[in-house]
Structure 1
Amino acid sequence: MNPEKKGINTICTHEGGVEDVLFKGATSPIYTSTSYAFEDVDVKRYPRYFNTPNQEALGKKLAALEHAEQAMIFGSGMAAISTALLTFLQAGDHVVFQQTLYGGTYNLAVTQLERFGISYSFTTGWQVMDFERELKDNTKLIYVETPSNPLLTITDLAGVSKLAKSKGIMTMIDNTFASPINQNPIDFGIDVVCHSATKYMGGHSDICAGVVASSKENMERVYQTAICFGGSLSDYTVWLLERSLKTMGLRVKEQNANAAQMAAYLMENPDILNVHYPGLESHPDHLLAKSQMNGFGGMLSFELSDEVDVSQFFKQLKLIKPSMSLAGLESTVSAPVTTSHALMSPEDRQKQGIRDSLVRFSLGIENIEDLTGDIEQAIKEVKSMQVHA
């Protein structure tokens, strides 16, 4: 069987496991040792070297999912992103970041990069021409995020990759919102793929992890940086992540379906001003998303009308959980201005189009009628409270 021809659920289930040669168990055994032999062995193993049996095996599964040659697991998404950035950038270099960017990555750029002598620019949009305008003679890297957090903007991966390659510049992406189920950026020429594995890969709101995937040559460079920064993940959590990945294809498929139905429902709700979801034909980049994504994802965002206070709306929800993170089995909502993008100034949030009324919505696997019903009753309750105030 050709591994490249395996279906996504087969890869999720079978690639990159640790064989139980002693008892022939169906699941990978956990190797929790932090001390391994160094004499008469092929590999000198140590958790901080990212090469314990569980770390190595899971890296193979992640590489297969992202169509990469190699992948590494980190202690968090930001550990993965920061390690990758500081692998390919050095003093005197310049990096171009997409304007619509996760708040943690934005904060890393504006508070840390100049300490390392690295300059940066943010695009004014997310079209290929916006990236081209920001290029300088010392630009070494273009960093994109698509779909973006929290406005679900879509960036042309093939277009950005073509631009970068014509200038000898590397490309890097945060592929968290899409997951490898919905999007494989390497197929469009992107060099390095990063994930917060806390999200769709973990999928159960009980794991914090990150991933970097790329070519063997690039990953050897990432490895040299990673062993210095020490952002490795415990083998127990690695084992839990492998367990979770086995159902990722099934989970994400259901979340995609729920998000599509929820977006359609919200579009018809008079108390919702704007809905941001690339699966909607009204989304400005719908056709682009359709051309580079296998599914439109389980994330969307929407803006409440002035008649519905965001904080009160959250308090009236009975099923959907107001929560910091996303992509779990349970549906969650958050206010980007007080969570994911709280570290950005109000002015910078405004530039991105992140308003105080914006709600980020992560669809879980519940029955869609229960979710729409919860939205409806919460809005009704808030409006009733305001009438009687």
Structure 2
Amino acid sequence: MPSIELGDSIPPNTAHAVSVSLPTWRSNIGYEEGEQWVLGVMVTGYPRFFIHKSIQAFGRDIVAKHGSANQQAILFPTKKTANRCIEFIRDKAPESALTDLDVLHLVLDPTKKAPAGLPDTPSISAVLCTSESFPFAKQYWQHSGDGVSSRRAEFYHALFKENMLVPEDTVSSSPRPLNKLGRGPKRYRRTASVDDTTNGSNGANNNRQYPVTLDPPADEVTDTLESSRFLEERYGRNLDLSLVPNAKSAIRRRIAGVLTTDIDLESTAALPTMDSNARGISNFKEDDIYLVPCGMNAIFTTHQTLLKARKPEKSINFGFPYVDTLKILQKFGPGAIFYGHGSSADLDDLEKRLEAGEKFLGLFCEFPGNPLLTCPDLTRIRRLADKYDFAVVVDETVGNFVNVNVLPFADVVVSSLTKIFSGDCNVMGGSIILNPNSRYYASLKRVMTAEFEDTYWAEDVIFMERNSRDFISRIDRVNANAEAICEVLVAHPLVTNVYYPKYNESRPNYEACKLPTGGYGGLLSCTLKTKAHAMAFYDAIETAKGPSLGTNFTLTSPYVVLAHYQELDWAASFGVNPDLLRISVGLEEDLVDIFKKALKAAEAVQEDTE
């Protein structure tokens, strides 16, 4: 990939890119230190950390029209998500930060003549807060993944500019029902969708079990075409949103492993039926798979669901986690115990706690972990969970559906579809899979049926479905490339450690879940002899360089600097070197040469210092 300028989107010229270029080690430090020479040129950033500029612009316009001079706005797709943010601020912020704190729910102005095809209940919510409380709102945005997507913000901003959205409390009696927020236009949904939570004032489905129905009712066809034309002509869209229900079904079936070829979404016959033994699990149905706006929202939603489905207890975070997973468990409920090594000794200690009578809500782990790529012993964890009654939640983002099958060991499996499932680094998404044979399945399903809001924006769904069509074929190439890079790194004298499931001591744990045709994944990490070597390697490597992983192109990052800059010593105490380089391997054909060249640059540092 050609060199990408500091602060430019990755991929370049991509309006809704998920990553941003930080091409030198120094620029990563500058980002973490908040230095203007970095922040001032950033056109975007990772969406949960950097609020997209289109969202910021919409927020400013909302404050200008409905707020006060000392307020800022942070946007959410529904009233429910905005109210959760308010609750978090009130719980975590000091009393002085709670002034001028409010929620504004914007709905369609009933006095305006809406253009043909406009969604029947367009609405969006804004948390209005001061500069003192904004950091707490931003914390909620980052941890929960509940924030509005940039594509959704652009759509509603256009309505707002045309004065078609007004505060809900100004609408006269008998307003339109507003509980359908964030599910995309009604005409693009089918009542048979598992994600339709429009029955009941709190988003409940009245315990209905929805079959999979893909054909639109005949009387909706004209409205759907009209809606698509309206979106395309008025807002410059070029997406047929009538295909959203089929797109969601296609995504779910790819996750389940039953859809393995390209399909035509306009032909419902092209979607294969769900095999009752998909993923090696009996009784597995499509409506056991939920789609959410991002991977972290999958973890957040699962934790919230467990707290409602079971007696609230502390959780277990097992293994060194991605930063926000631990924060969710610590901040949203009774708290968590943390086993940062994820070792057999840690399991011994946990077993002693359990034998002594301690109770836990659930154990959350990654398979493999990020960034050390170690794998927990899911076989033993499953045994302990069955004996001592706690749920097992496995994040398989790094392993991915094609390489490993962790569902037989888990009660819930979560994943970030933003990563290799999409690959194009231009849309966010996440998934939650309930194991139908889990002892907690009935209670989890009951809570999800009553509480789950489908806030996955229709356009994001369309992009995710398109991106994921060649998911399986991409994985094979990524696996092969990653192994080839590992061989280069392992053989080089300056490389002190290579972290990859194939090379780690925990490889037997990986093999226990590895599929017969699976590989070892596209993520690896390494350390070099000195920080100077690591810096020279990073600055020289001719790949994209920025946050995120699982992209179709190789993406390199000084991961620990970005994820744990304020807690480097803490990370080091769990064996995570502050100078570690994380490499998300892509599809390029010349990667071996690219890495050899970067290692040459590191060798030059060695020559200068000897």
TM-score (norm 1): 0.79
Aligned to 1:6: none
Q: Does 1:35 align with 2:186?
A: yes
Which one-letter code corresponds to 2:186 in the other structure? Answer: S
Provide the rounded CA distance (Å) in 2 between the counterparts of 1:94 and 1:130.
16
Once the two structures are TM-superposed, the CA of residue 123 in structure 1 deviates from its matched residue by 1.6
Which one-letter code corresponds to 2:306 in the other structure? Answer: F
Once the two structures are TM-superposed, the CA of residue 373 in structure 1 deviates from its matched residue by 1.9
- Please give the secondary structure, in 2, of the residue aligned with 1:340: helix
Aligned to 1:305: 529
Q: Does 1:181 align with 2:399?
A: no
Aligned to 1:224: 450
Which one-letter code corresponds to 1:380 in the other structure? Answer: K
Change (3 A) 1:61 1:134: farther
Aligned to 2:462: 239
Once the two structures are TM-superposed, the CA of residue 92 in structure 1 deviates from its matched residue by 4.4
Mapping of 1:255-274 within 5 angstroms? Answer: 255-274=478-497
Provide the rounded CA distance (Å) in 2 between the counterparts of 1:174 and 1:44.
22
Provide the rounded CA distance (Å) in 2 between the counterparts of 1:355 and 1:160.
27
Q: Indicate conservation of the 8 Å contact 1:99/1:123, yes or no.
A: yes
Provide the rounded CA distance (Å) in 2 between the counterparts of 1:139 and 1:305.
41
Q: Indicate conservation of the 8 Å contact 1:267/1:275, yes or no.
A: yes
Provide the rounded CA distance (Å) in 2 between the counterparts of 1:55 and 1:316.
41
Once the two structures are TM-superposed, the CA of residue 42 in structure 1 deviates from its matched residue by 6.2
Q: Deviations over 1:350-378 (max 9, x none)?
A: 122111221111111112xx222222222
Please list every run of 5 or more consecutive structure 2 residues that lacks an aligned counterpart in the other structure.
1-182, 211-243, 258-277, 437-441
Provide the rounded CA distance (Å) in 1 between the counterparts of 2:375 and 2:194.
43
Once the two structures are TM-superposed, the CA of residue 341 in structure 1 deviates from its matched residue by 3.7
Once the two structures are TM-superposed, the CA of residue 176 in structure 1 deviates from its matched residue by 0.3
Once the two structures are TM-superposed, the CA of residue 45 in structure 1 deviates from its matched residue by 8.0
Provide the rounded CA distance (Å) in 2 between the counterparts of 1:143 and 1:42.
32
Give the counterpart of 2:430 among 186, 205, 210.
210
Mapping of 1:336-355 within 5 angstroms? Answer: 336-342=559-565, 345-355=567-577
Provide the rounded CA distance (Å) in 2 between the counterparts of 1:234 and 1:264.
41
Change (3 A) 1:276 1:133: farther
Provide the rounded CA distance (Å) in 2 between the counterparts of 1:169 and 1:330.
39
- Please give the secondary structure, in 1, of the residue aligned with 2:433: strand
Give the counterpart of 1:88 among 281, 302, 306.
306
Change (3 A) 1:174 1:310: same
Once the two structures are TM-superposed, the CA of residue 385 in structure 1 deviates from its matched residue by 5.8
- Please give the secondary structure, in 2, of the residue aligned with 1:193: strand
| Range 74-83 or range 125-134, more displaced | 125-134
Residue-pair matches, total: 343
Give the counterpart of 2:472 among 228, 249, 262.
249
Aligned to 1:293: 514
| Range 150-159 or range 347-356, more displaced | 347-356
Q: Deviations over 1:116-138 (max 9, x none)?
A: 3x121012532343542454533
Q: Indicate conservation of the 8 Å contact 2:395/2:413, yes or no.
A: yes
Q: Does 1:108 align with 2:331?
A: no
Give the counterpart of 2:598 among 359, 373, 378.
378
Aligned to 1:9: none
TM-score (norm 2): 0.52
Give the counterpart of 2:360 among 134, 139, 145.
139
Q: Does 1:61 align with 2:277?
A: no
Q: Indicate conservation of the 8 Å contact 1:71/1:219, yes or no.
A: no
Q: Does 1:191 align with 2:411?
A: yes
Q: Choose 1 or 2 for highest CA Rg.
A: 2
Aligned to 2:289: 71
Change (3 A) 1:316 1:129: same
Relative contact order higher in (CA < 8 Å, ≥ 6 apart)? 1
Aligned to 1:121: 337
Provide the rounded CA distance (Å) in 1 between the counterparts of 2:197 and 2:605.
55
Provide the rounded CA distance (Å) in 2 between the counterparts of 1:151 and 1:59.
29
- Please give the secondary structure, in 2, of the residue aligned with 1:273: strand
Provide the rounded CA distance (Å) in 1 between the counterparts of 2:197 and 2:556.
35
Provide the rounded CA distance (Å) in 1 between the counterparts of 2:465 and 2:186.
22
Provide the rounded CA distance (Å) in 1 between the counterparts of 2:573 and 2:353.
17
Aligned to 1:167: 388
| Root-mean-square deviation (Å) | 3.0
Q: Indicate conservation of the 8 Å contact 2:494/2:603, yes or no.
A: no
Aligned to 2:156: none
- Please give the secondary structure, in 2, of the residue aligned with 1:80: helix
Q: Indicate conservation of the 8 Å contact 2:536/2:601, yes or no.
A: no
Once the two structures are TM-superposed, the CA of residue 156 in structure 1 deviates from its matched residue by 1.6
Provide the rounded CA distance (Å) in 2 between the counterparts of 1:223 and 1:312.
52
Provide the rounded CA distance (Å) in 2 between the counterparts of 1:375 and 1:37.
47
Aligned to 2:541: 317
Change (3 A) 1:308 1:383: farther
Provide the rounded CA distance (Å) in 2 between the counterparts of 1:377 and 1:63.
37
Give the counterpart of 1:361 among 560, 583, 595.
583
Change (3 A) 1:359 1:134: farther
Provide the rounded CA distance (Å) in 2 between the counterparts of 1:388 and 1:284.
35
